[in-house]
Structure 1
Amino acid sequence: MSIPKWKIKGIVDDFDECGCCGRRGLKRTVAMMPLDADGNEDGTAEDVVYYGTSCAATALSWTQSKVTQTAQAAQHEQDQADAHARRMLSIYAPVEFAPVRDMARVYCGRNQRQPDTGVKATEEVAKLLAEARATLADTTTGPARPSRIEDFRRYIVIFTSDQRILLVRRVPDDEVKREEQATAAQRRADQIRGSILVVAALDGEAARDVAYADDLTREWNTTAWQAVHA
């Protein structure tokens, strides 16, 4: 059985021209990474080609249906990796330069099976942040995604009386809309005897993670947001 020369990495909307036949105006193209003789990825994002599904099928000796299904699965995997990266950055980036004791408390609070040592926490947090940033910087299937604390946005979170999240909404930039949202959120929280929290994160799902975190994590989250918007 011959080893494929390409690996499908995902579906791309930014490239509408097939890198094989030159056809333009495509709704989407398939991102494909070249493989070496052993079937390992042989290049970086700069070496990826973008083919239409027909040309991709020919290059892989597959059906177009298989190409589409594989590309969708690969893109879903990338989207999941991006979501995980945003959660890691939203939790740990604010404590990147915090005192070691605080960093260790934040890390070990989320990883209770890990040894409660500052050195271990420092190494693990650095590793998690590096991996998350590399994931969001990967341009194989699109432009680099936001990954800095400066890219965090504020989210208002409403909790029920038993501390379950009812909803998460991004806080508007406009002051008037922000005040209207805060008033409506407080009214809703009062109706259900719940509570409100405002956190900063890279997206809504990451905001949920921050909202459910411990007090120290949220304290550093607030401190980091205020520092970059001082």
Structure 2
Amino acid sequence: MRIPKWKIKGVTDDFTECGCCGRRGLKRTVALMPLDADENEDGTAEDVAYYGTSCAATALGWTQSKVTDTARAAQAKREQRDAYARMMISLYAPVEFAPVREKARLFYGRNRSLRDTGVKATEEVAKLLANARATLADTTTGPARPSRIEDFRRYLVIFSSDQQIHRVLHVPDDEGKRQEQATAAARRAKEIRGSVLVVAALDGEAARDVAYSHRLAPEWIEKAWQDAHV
């Protein structure tokens, strides 16, 4: 059985020239990571080759349709990892330099099964942030993605009466539009007997998790935003 020389990491439109045949003007290319004799990844983002679908199929000994399907699946997994990384940074970056007690309250509040198990919140938070930042810094299939508190954006979250999230809205930069949004949100919250909360996160999905966890460390979450945007 032929052992593949490459592993498909995803697809990208940042490289439009095939690194194998030199064809230019491609809509996208397949990112290929070299493998060693044991089929382990043998390199970093700098070692990735970008081939057109046809050349990638030849290099792997696959059909073009298999290359396309595998590349799409790999890219989807990367996007899932990115989403998880944005959530971890949105949750834990604000308490990265908080007192241990505050950090532990947030971590164990979200991971109750780990309380009293010997797992240290400070170490776990550090690992989660390091892994998340590494994920978003990876340039295999595109440029590094935002990962700092300075990159956070404000989101307005409307809760229903049973404390479930009803809607998440990005807060506009324009002061007038912000006022209009806040008024409309307050009116909607009153209609559904809910409440309104403004949080900061890297994206709207992460904002949902931040909103649910906000009560665990409200002062530090707000302080981190203020310190980063003075």
Letter matched to residue 170 of structure 1:
H
Residues 1:25 and 2:25 are matched in the alignment: yes
Q: Deviations over 1:24-66 (max 9, x none)?
A: 1111110000001110100000000111111101111111100
1:7 alignment counterpart: 7
1:92 alignment counterpart: 92
What displacement does 1:229 show? 1.4
Q: Does the 8 Å contact 1:160/1:166 carry over to 2?
A: yes
Q: Does the 8 Å contact 1:32/1:48 carry over to 2?
A: yes
Unaligned 5+ runs, structure 1: none
TM-score by length of 1: 0.96
What displacement does 1:217 show? 2.8
Instruction: Provide the C-alpha distance between the structure 1 equivalents of 2:116 and 2:146, rounded to a whole number of angstroms.
Output: 31
User: 4+ runs of 1 displaced by more than 3 Å?
Assistant: 115-119
1:172 alignment counterpart: 172
Q: Does the 8 Å contact 2:161/2:193 carry over to 1?
A: yes
1:146 alignment counterpart: 146
Q: Which moved more, 1:196-205 or 1:111-120?
A: 111-120
What displacement does 1:2 show? 2.3
Q: Does the 8 Å contact 1:199/1:218 carry over to 2?
A: no
2:188 alignment counterpart: 188
Instruction: Provide the C-alpha distance between the structure 1 equivalents of 2:26 and 2:122, rounded to a whole number of angstroms.
Output: 46
Instruction: Provide the C-alpha distance between the structure 2 equivalents of 1:174 and 1:20, rounded to a whole number of angstroms.
Output: 48
Instruction: Provide the C-alpha distance between the structure 2 equivalents of 1:114 and 1:175, rounded to a whole number of angstroms.
Output: 43
For residues 1-230 of structure 1, the aligned pairs below 5 Å read 1-116=1-116, 120-230=120-230
Instruction: Provide the C-alpha distance between the structure 2 equivalents of 1:39 and 1:118, rounded to a whole number of angstroms.
Output: 36
Unaligned 5+ runs, structure 2: none
What displacement does 1:117 show? 8.7
SS in 2 for 1:40: coil
Q: Which moved more, 1:179-188 or 1:7-16?
A: 179-188
Q: Deviations over 1:50-99 (max 9, x none)?
A: 11111101111111100000000000000000000011111110000000
Instruction: Provide the C-alpha distance between the structure 1 equivalents of 2:68 and 2:9, rounded to a whole number of angstroms.
Output: 11
Instruction: Provide the C-alpha distance between the structure 1 equivalents of 2:3 and 2:218, rounded to a whole number of angstroms.
Output: 49
The alignment's C-alpha RMSD in Å is 1.4
Instruction: Provide the C-alpha distance between the structure 2 equivalents of 1:189 and 1:118, rounded to a whole number of angstroms.
Output: 41
Q: Does the 8 Å contact 2:214/2:221 carry over to 1?
A: no
